[in-house]
Amino acid sequence: VGHVVSLIKCGKVASVTGFLDAAAVLRQSVHSQPSRYGYQMYAIVHTDCQHHAPLLQRMGYTPLVRDSPVLVQDIKDGWYKDHV
């Protein structure tokens, strides 16, 4: 069973700290539940935040460092572009 978290913005220290705390709690929660199935923890990490990948790996996650799949300037005008 795969469990995934994503770190896409890391400009505010407090937000990153909260994210890392939540990721640690999730990992511990998954790890502490008995199951007949194995599990894997994944962290999708934006390239701007890749300096956090080693910590996530030490926490038991497999970090997947990736750039944005779509550039904001490539999105046509409209609701979605205004809310990304």
Amino acid at 27: R
Map the chain to HEC letters. Answer: CEEEEEECCCCCHHHHHHHHHHHHHHHHHHHHCCCCCCCEEEEEEEHHHHHHHHHHHHCCEEEEEECCCCCHHHCCCCHHHHHC
Q: Write out pLDDT tens, residues 42-74.
A: 999 999 999 999 999 999 999 999 998 888 788
Q: Per the confidence metrics, is the pTM higher than 0.95? A: no
Q: Does residue 84 surpass a pLDDT of 80?
A: no
